[in-house]
Structure 1
Amino acid sequence: MKQITVMGKYPVYTIKIEKSETSYQSVDEVFTYLKKQVDAHPIATYIGQFDHYGHTASLQAGEISEDIKDAKNFICCFGKVLPKPEVLAVRPRSIGVAEMKDSFVVSFLEAPNPDANATMEQWVKGIANL
């Protein structure tokens, strides 16, 4: 897993997982795994998913790289405190999963909570399960 800066300002953790390194062969299968991780976590809660590929494909002006076969966001929250209203701006968490021909590219924006970052990194690395 590596940390990059996207668009010059967003700190993002990302990893490319070859399909030969995992038993999961679709974004939906990866999401089933991630949902199990959230369900087993004492604080995290599952919120839902967003079909980014489907949304973008439905737009007249939508553009998708031909390398991307599917792309969805897995949405969850680790919020155990709400000290001020502005914290809402950095919640919930989203883990993006893009399916490519022979791999998955999984990424998430750095969270202000180091424990949430460590947990998401562990979950994402667990996708490579072979």
Structure 2
Amino acid sequence: MQFSNFLDKYPTYSFTLAKNTTRFNSVDEIIAVLEDKISADPIACQIAVFDHHAHTSALPNGEIAENIQAAKSLVFCFGIKLPSPQAMAPRPRSFGVCELTDSFVITFMQAPNPQMNEVMQGWVKALAE
């Protein structure tokens, strides 16, 4: 799991699974496992799966890096507290799952709640098992 500040402002975690070392054959298979994690969690709620690759491909000026073969976002929310309108800004959460030529890359932004951040890291790390 690698941490970076994407574009110098977005705290982002990335996890790479090499295709030759994983049981997964597609983005959809990875999304399905993460959907199961969300469904099993007593406070998480799945919202949607967004096919970013299909959307961007359909745009007249859409650009996709050559090595990205598929890209979907799994949108969900923990939302255990709503203390102010500002709490809505970093919600909902999402996992980005991309298929590259030789790997799958799972990304997500750091959650404001450290406990939820640990849960998301655990779900993603478990994909390597």
TM-score, shorter chain, exceeding 0.5: yes
Deviation of the 1:2 alpha carbon: 1.1
- 2:39 maps to 39
1:29 aligned counterpart, secondary structure: helix
TM-score, normalised to structure 1's length? 0.96
Runs of 5+ in structure 2 lacking a partner?
none
- 1:67 maps to 67
1:61-118, CA deviations, whole angstroms, 9 ceiling, x for partnerless residues?
A: 0000110000011111111111111111110001100001221011101110111111
- 2:100 maps to 100
1:69 aligned counterpart, secondary structure: strand
Runs of 5+ in structure 1 lacking a partner?
none
Deviation of the 1:21 alpha carbon: 2.6
How many residues end up aligned between the 2 structures?
129
CA distance in 2, matches of 1:23, 1:48: 24
Q: How does 1:47-58 map to 2 (within 5 A)?
A: 47-58=47-58
CA distance in 2, matches of 1:80, 1:34: 19
1:127 aligned counterpart, secondary structure: helix
CA distance in 2, matches of 1:21, 1:39: 26
C-alpha RMSD over aligned residues: 0.9
- 2:19 maps to 19
1:60 aligned counterpart, secondary structure: coil
